[in-house]
Amino acid sequence: MVDIDERWKKVLWLLGILISLGILAFLVVFFLRFEAGRTFRAEFFNGRTFRKAMPYVLGGLSLTVRLALVSEVFILVVGLIIALARISKNPILRALAIVYIDVIRGLPLLLQIFIVYYGLAYLGFKLDPFVAGVAALTICYAAYEAEIFRAGIESIHKGQMEAARSLGMGYMQAMRYVILPQAVRNVIPPLSNEFIALLKDTSLLSVIALAEVLRRGTEMMGKYYNVTPLVCAALCYLMITLPLMRLVQYVSNRLSEGR
Amino acid sequence: MNFMVEVRNLHKRFGHHEVLRGINLRVKPSEVLVIVGPSGSGKSTLLRCINGLEHATSGQILIEGVDITDSRVDINAMRQKVGIVFQSFNLFPHLTVLRNVTLAPIKVKKMRPEEAEAKALQLLKRVGLEDKAQAYPSQLSGGQQQRVAIARALAMDPDLMLFDEVTSALDPELVKEVLDAMKDLARSGMTMLVVTHEMGFAREVGDRLIFMDEGEIVEEGKPVEIFTNPKSPRAKDFFSKILSHL
């Protein structure tokens, strides 16, 4: 049996290598020999446009990262407060939290951005686009992260709360010193994934004239009549998101080992 | 006569299920009261009502004369007088043994950290675990964890200690070390309410025993008398089953 398994493994390996080589060969021929391939290369991977557009698009990355980081700080605070309201014994607080979480999660983020930026402008509050962007992202993501916090808190055995309360601690003291420190450990992986999603969703703020990565990419696309700037933008996002995803994976593995 | 605990006509209902049906109980200071009975008889619920983890449906529970079922009473302050040790230990896994014991004195009693630590080390020594102060709960055996839980409860200087089947989750060879810590505590004059299946402990340490079944106190008296001469059929049946192994 073992021999057959080993032989099959070798065959599969060989097959995999052959298929990969085939695809590679096809791509090379397609891009170099065919008209369509050459057009594709000129539009998507145009070296001259890349050299001109990339520095400008890359310049938007600091705004993208700043938007994500500043929003994340507010999201964590607001999300935690909503989560605590969601699990509170007070029926009014709980109902408010449920309505907030459901309504916000039921709306497209782009719509929320428009409402915060243009809606408030109609009411006479002209917000700075950065402030409006952070506000919209906070409103939206706080609802999602509140649910993550809630799940993290509810995953802690109720004996922990009882033990803390039986020692005379108040509810908030027990939360702060006993429940939350343990819950945080459970929510780090899902919260990190939310942060990656948030970083990508900052691109939606290009609609309110924030010169972040995507906005700069589309500007350059219009200027050079070429798709290459969008590829530049894609590379900018991947530079951040790919390492972050690996990091999240690593941290998750470490956390689950330490159990 | 001042009682440490006085329970008057206590009822507790979960939905349609009545777990406690009119409990009356008086415990004197320094008395060790053992509570036995089949599972589902309401023993644990009674203990949990006495330190406010469960709300009484009706009736009164007086701790040192203060009615804790009165909503105006500061339940957090009352709980400081009543320590409880659980079947499942419930140590805080993210804190060292020392921090487990000092957390409540520092945060609730606002004790100075050095003072709390000195006291904690003393209590850990008393339960034989002063060398484990820097360990985390997961590094300890069940018996050791349970002794830490006892030290943690004692750190708040309670006047009354509740023990809820504290040896039931332990491997047999670890039961003795926990019972020894409890015996030591009983000898020091602590008032104790002990829910247990350890009849040897009940006979040796218990001043009084109550037998509960279906939410009522069926029988009450000296442990030896009830063991040897249970009056009600339910108690007879229960003790004949568990004492046959002794």
Query: pLDDT tens-digit profile of B80-94?
Result: 999 999 999 999 999
What's the CA gap between A192 and A77, in Å, rounded?
Answer: 15
Instruction: Give me the torsion for CA of A25, A31, A37, A40, rounded to 10°.
Output: 120
pLDDT for B245 beyond 60: no
Q: Is A243 on the interface with B (CB under 8 A)?
A: no
What are the tens digits of pLDDT across the range A116-142? 999 988 988 888 999 999 999 999 999
What are the tens digits of pLDDT across the range A134-181? 999 999 999 999 999 999 999 999 999 999 999 999 999 999 999 999
pLDDT for A1 beyond 60: no
Angle at A238 between CA A235 and CA A243, to 5 degrees: 140
Q: Could you give the count of Cα atoms lying within 13 Å of A154 in the half-sphere of its Cβ?
A: 11
SS3 at position B30: coil
Can you give the C-alpha Rg of chain B in angstroms?
Answer: 18
Q: Could you give the count of Cα atoms lying within 13 Å of A118 in the half-sphere of its Cβ?
A: 10
pTM of the model: 0.84
At A28, the pLDDT band (50, 70, 90 cuts) reads confident
Across residues B177-201, what is the average pLDDT? Answer: 93
Bridge-based pairing of strands B191-195 and B82-85 is: unpaired
pLDDT for B209 beyond 80: yes
Q: Is B92 on the interface with A (CB under 8 A)?
A: yes
Across residues B62-78, what is the average pLDDT? Answer: 91
Q: Could you give the count of Cα atoms lying within 13 Å of B30 in the half-sphere of its Cβ?
A: 3
Q: Of A90-94, A121-125, B121-125, which range is least confident?
A: A121-125
Q: What is the model's pLDDT at position A209?
A: 87
Q: Is B77 on the interface with A (CB under 8 A)?
A: yes
- How many residue pairs from chains A and B have C-beta atoms closer than 8 A? 60
CA distance B225 to chain A (A): 34
Angle at B105 between CA B103 and CA B106, to 5 degrees: 65
Q: What is the model's pLDDT at position B244?
A: 65
At B40, the pLDDT band (50, 70, 90 cuts) reads confident
Enter the tokens of residue B174.
């670890």
Identity of the residue in B94, B104, B153 whose CB atom sits nearest the CB atom of A169: B104
What's the CA gap between A163 and A165, in Å, rounded?
Answer: 6
Q: Is B156 on the interface with A (CB under 8 A)?
A: yes
Cβ pair A98, A109 in contact under 8 A: no
Q: What is the model's pLDDT at position B246?
A: 52
Query: Is A166 within 8 Å of B51 when comparing Cβ atoms?
Result: yes
Q: What is the model's pLDDT at position A63?
A: 95
Q: Is A102 on the interface with B (CB under 8 A)?
A: no
For chain B, how many residues are written? 246
Residue-by-residue DSSP string for B82-107: EEEE-TT----TTS-HHHHHHHHHHH
Across residues A221-232, what is the average pLDDT? Answer: 92
How high is the mean pLDDT of chain B?
Answer: 93
At A240, the pLDDT band (50, 70, 90 cuts) reads very high
pLDDT for A257 beyond 80: no
Instruction: Give the helix ranges, DSSP H, for chain B.
Output: 43-50, 75-79, 97-107, 113-126, 142-154, 172-187, 199-205, 223-228, 233-243
Across residues A14-28, what is the average pLDDT? Answer: 92
SS3 at position B129: coil
Cβ pair B146, B170 in contact under 8 A: yes
* Chain A contact set for B87 (CB, 8 A): none
* Chain A contact set for B152 (CB, 8 A): 167
Q: What is the model's pLDDT at position B2?
A: 84
What's the CA gap between B120 and B115, in Å, rounded?
Answer: 9
Q: What is the model's pLDDT at position A139?
A: 97
Structure-model confidence comparison of residues A36 and B66, the more confident one: B66
pLDDT for A21 beyond 70: yes
User: Which of A4-18, A40-54, A198-212 has the highest average model confidence (pLDDT)?
Assistant: A198-212
What's the CA gap between B216 and A192, in Å, rounded?
Answer: 53
Enter the tokens of residue B66.
């203060």
pLDDT for B140 beyond 90: yes
Work out the percent of chain A whose per-residue pLDDT is above 70.
98
